[in-house]
Amino acid sequence: MKKPLIGMFAALLFAGATALAGAPAAVASSPAGAQAQTQAQTQADTQLLAPSQDQQAQAVAAVNFAGTVALSNCSGSLVRLPASAATDPALVLSNGHCLETGFPGPGEVVVNQSSSRTFSLLNGAGSKVATLRATKVVYGTMTDTDVSIYQLNTTYAAIQSSYGIAPLTISASHPVQGTSIKVVSGYWKKIYSCSVDGFVYRLKEGSWTWKDSVRYTSSCNTIGGTSGSPVVDANTGQVVAVNNTGNEDGQRCTDNNPCEVDQSGVVTVRKGINYAQETYGIPACFAAGNRLDLTRSGCTLPRP
The domain limits of the chain are 53-170, 180-278
What's the pTM value of the predicted model, to 2 decimals?
0.84
The band of 261, judged by pLDDT with boundaries at 50, 70 and 90, is very high
Say whether pLDDT at 6 is over 70. Answer: no
Q: CB under 8 Å to 76, separation ≥6 — which residues?
A: 68, 69, 70, 92, 93, 94, 98, 119, 186, 228, 229, 230
Q: Which class would CATH give 53-170?
A: mainly beta
Question: Distance between CA 45 and CA 88 in Å, rounded?
Answer: 10
Name which of 12-26, 65-79, 189-203 the model is least confident about.
12-26
CA dist 254 and 274 (Å) reads: 14
Residue 13: pLDDT band by 50, 70, 90 thresholds? very low
Question: Coil, helix or strand for 55?
Answer: helix
Residue 18, pLDDT > 60, answer: no
213 forms beta bridges with: 200
The number of CA neighbours under 13 Å toward the Cβ of 48 is 24
**pLDDT at residue 43, as a whole number:** 45
pLDDT band at residue 51, thresholds of 50, 70 and 90? Answer: low
Instruction: Give the integer Cα–Cα distance in Å for 12 and 274.
Output: 30
For residues 241 and 27, the model is more confident at 241
Longest dimension (CA), the chain: 70
Cα–Cα distance measured from residue 88 to residue 42, given in angstroms and rounded to the nearest whole number = 12
At 83, the pLDDT band (50, 70, 90 cuts) reads very high
Mean pLDDT of the region 62-70: 96
Find the mean pLDDT for residues 261-279. 98
pLDDT at 50: 53
pLDDT digits (tens, 9 = 90+) for 105-141: 999 999 999 999 999 999 999 999 999 999 999 999 9
Asked if 132 and 77 touch (Cβ cutoff 8 Å), the reply is no
Q: Which of 183, 259, 171, 265 is nearest to 220 (CA)?
A: 183
The three-state (H, E, C) secondary structure of 62-117, written as one string: CCCCCCEEECCCCEEEEEECCCCCCCCEEEEEECHHHCCCCCCCCCCEEEEEECCC
Q: What is the pLDDT of residue 4?
A: 67
Res 257 pLDDT > 50: yes
Q: Residue 296 has what pLDDT?
A: 98
Q: Which of 202, 234, 187 is nearest to 2 (CA)?
A: 187
For residue 62, the model assigns a pLDDT of: 80
Average pLDDT over residues 172-182: 98
Confidence of residue 98 (pLDDT cuts 50, 70, 90): very high
Calpha distance 212→259 (Å, rounded): 13
Of the two residues 61 and 240, the one the predictor is more confident about is 240
Q: Do domains 53-170 and 180-278 have the same CATH topology?
A: yes
Q: How far apart are CA 232 and CA 193, in angstroms?
A: 10
pLDDT of residue 5: 54
- Report the chain's terminal Cα–Cα distance, integer Å: 22
Average pLDDT over residues 49-68: 66
* CATH architecture for residues 180-278: Beta Barrel (2.40)
What pLDDT does residue 1 have? 81
Task: Give the whole-number percent of the chain exceeding pLDDT 90.
Answer: 80
**Average pLDDT of every residue of the chain:** 86
Q: Model confidence at 49, in pLDDT bands (50, 70, 90)?
A: low
Determine the pLDDT at residue 2.
75
